[in-house]
Structure formats: C-alpha cells, structure tokens
Structure 1
Amino acid sequence: MMDALSVVSQLRDLASEPQNREVIVQDEGCLPGLVLFLDHQNPDVLLATLQTMRYLAELTPNISTMKSELGMMVSLENLTGREDLSVDITDLAQELYNILSATVPRIPERENRKKSQFFINSTQKKAKSVTLHIQGLDSTDQRGLCEEALLKVKGVISFTFQMASKRCTVRIRSDLPTESLASAIAATKVLSAQQVVKNEAGEEIFISLNQQSGVAVKRNSPLPDYLPEEEESPERAVDRAISRTTAKKDSSGSWLNSAASFLTNTFYW
C-alpha cells in the first residue's frame, strides 16, 4: 500500500542518482509536492523529504529554482525553529536553508519544462496550482469548513493544507477563476482567503481577491466532480528517462504512475 513515506523514500532514492536531479526539479509537480511534504506530521517523512532536497541541491543549477519555489523558504525556516523535532531534522533544514539562501549564478528560465508530473497527474494547460492564505484557519474545525467549501467548487482537483502557516495549496482547472475559491471560502462566514504570490524581488506577498457574492461559483454534484481520466492523463514522453536503483517496474505500470495516482486522489495528509 503506497503512502506518503513510501513515495518520498522512493523519490529520495531517485535523487541520490546524479543523473536524475535535473529531471526531478524540472518536473511540474515534483518540487511543489516536496514543499507540501515539509508540513507533514510524520518525522520520518520530514527527514526523507529534507534528504531528497539535499540531494537535489547538490546540482548548482537547481538551487535558484528550488529557492524560488512558493513556500520553500518559509517551510524550511519553520522547521528550523521547531523544538518538537529531532536535531537531525532541524540541522538538515538549517543546512538546506543556508544552501538555498547563498548567492548563486542566475540561470535563464527553462523553456522546455517537462509537462509530465510525479505529484499531480494533470497537464499544465488543463490545470494550475493556487496558494491561498486563509484567515481564520486555526483549528481542525475551521479546516473542515474550508474542505467542505472547496469540495463544492466545480473545477477543484485537489488541495493540501499547511496549518502552521494557514495556507492551502489548491490544484484547479486552468479556466477556474481564483476569485471563485475566495468566494466559496468567504461563504463560510468565518474564513477569508488571499492569494500568495511572489513579487519581482522574489518576496511572498498577499493579494486580496474579490469575495463578493456576485462572483459566480459553479457547484459540484454531491460527490467531487473530478476531471475525466482522459483529460487528466499526461501524454507519454518517450524521450524522458530516469533511473532508479532500488525499485523495479512491474506489470501494473511504473512507480511514478502509481505515485501520481496516489497523490492525485489524496486531498491532504
């Protein structure tokens, strides 16, 4: 049975091979998925995630991309200040934070970014990720209200919470306005949402969204109306290779496809 620890452990094995590190960071869903793992409650998952990122940071061109990933530096900084974690985790988080904070040569933005994904089984043109800062997200009760609100919005694919920073990363169809998410959350009467983006200086800022009732919100049927399977599946890339030393392909498909299915069907962990 695949779980968060098995997924990140296999990814760590991939990252330990130098030839895989560029491909992993270039992937559309892999790096955001690792950032989300930094908020996991299981210390073993946290340690495996940090070890994976440490491998990836050994390739210098990866550093600027990792540093600019939304939520990366904030999550690492939060880990370094937690007293409930082992020294192994906090020290590794501090080491990684220092590496990513160091000045590195600026590299051009990738023009041929890979379309296939490890963590979210959806193509870039059909889906996008939005990070929201949710005021009032202070307990599991408020999280439950937010879950119910998002599940009702037609076009929401998945979402993951980072309770420590009051954030929710939502995967949505590309044609769904972000304001629809804010309106659905505001309808709870106790929560409100702002979008988290980076400015030109690379700093995270909050953008207020139109949360008035005039914003149309398409509702789901009682069960989540996920994207059809044929729309979610990415085109098979025949020119993309990645090696692994500890896991082998079986008749049910590659491990990467299994990981994508696992995380696509998991709203949060």
Structure 2
Amino acid sequence: MDALSVVTQLRDLASEPQNRAVIVQDEGCLPGLVLFLDHQSHDVLLATLQTLRYLAELSPNILTMKNELGMMVSLESLTERKDLPLDITALAQEVFDILRAPANPVSRTPESQRRKKSQFFINSSSKKAKSVTLHIQGLDSTDQRSLCEEALLKVRGVISFTFQMASKRCTVRIRSDLPTESLASAIAATKVLSAQQVVKNEAGDEVFVPLNPSGVEVQQNSAIPDYLPEEEDSPEREVDRAISRTTAKSDSNGTWLSSAASFLSKTFYW
C-alpha cells in the first residue's frame, strides 16, 4: 500500500456524492489528505487536489475542510509554487477559493444550483490555459458521463471540465500546449464515445470540426491502481451511510475505507 494507491482510491470514492460526508467525517482521511498536499510526487498532489475538489462539492463539508489543521496554508503554498505543472496550481487555487468563500452565499436559485451540479473541477483563472468545447457522441446517460470523466481525468494537462448533458457537450479547460486531438483520443479509447470540436464560423454559427484521434499519444497522469486489499487487523469504524465506489462494488467498501484510514494513521501519526 502506498500514497498514490490510497489517494487515487479515495478520489474514486469521493467521486460518488453519497460518500463525501463519510470521508470528511472519518478521523483519519482528511488529515492524511492535508499531509499529502506536501508530497513530492506530482501524481499524488494532483489526485489529492481532485479528491478535495470532489469533497468540497458537498456544502456541509466546506467548513470542516477549511478548519482542518494545515489545509488552507498547504493549499495557498501550492498556488505560489513555480515548480509545479499548471494543472496542479490551478486546481489548488480553485479548492482554496471554494473553501475561503463565505459559508452563506447571498442567494441560490434553482438555475444556479443546476449549474453548480454540472461542474467538475471548473476553473477560469488561468491565463496559460485554453477552453475547448466538445460534442460527444454517445453521451446519453450518467454511465457514459462517468466513463468520459474517467477518460479525461487520465489525460495529463486537463485542468477542469463541465458537462452539458442535454446537448451532449463537454467544455474542457486544458493547458495551452495540449493538442485537442489528445482529448478525442482519450474519449475514443472508451470504445463507446467519440468527440468532435464545437467552434463558431465566420457567420457566428456553431459547427462541428472532426478530430482525428488516431496516432495521437496521450500523456496520462497515472494508471489507476488496483483497489486496496482488506487487512485483517484494520479497525472498522461504523458509519452512518454506505461507502460505494465506481468499480468492484461487491467488495466491502466500509472495510476498504478503514484500511485506507489505517494506512494514513500508521504513516503520519507516531
């Protein structure tokens, strides 16, 4: 069991909305994630920030996360580092801004709530990034959306993305040096989805531009490792709702979370 294995799987758990409260309430997971923000591995840093971004989607989590010892200091430190890739510093800034925002917004209209739910790692502050709008053939359900999310998450250089399910579109914010064809190649690798770029012509009308994914090398953040084995000596904590994850759903999810928390405790608390 290593840091990357733990944090990538916590990220997978956090991607399921019903798990986010449980993860934040666990006494070992959140402190461990804060300590991972000081990790030397860029892959660990990115996966940790993605996990925190997921957890911050649940509004009641924000105050707990903000008050966690070292959280805001570590996030701010990441935003100021010049030796990190743009996708890491941009996401660190986004998570920092979310946690720093007022706890009680002035108003929340149904439309704004719908927009919020459709966003994923959305960030518009970086000047060294570009936005690409894709029309994704086959984007017909939440299952296909999850498949597309997993594909985009693996592409190194993807900073954020948001879906418009009704129009089968995905707006992706990427590093300026990342070819758009890399996105099409990653999406085509799902075998059930394909992507075209949406642009405006001289008349201002939207048109679809075919993207050729063949022969395009996609740089990946990291391969998602196998799920952690259960440990016989891992203490199991009772939780008020079930933990679930996107794959291997027949395994004992509560035991897995205990295993991860046990790893964090043994690694960072002595």
Alignment TM-score, normalising by the size of structure 2: 0.47
Q: State the TM-score, normalizing by the size of structure 1.
A: 0.48
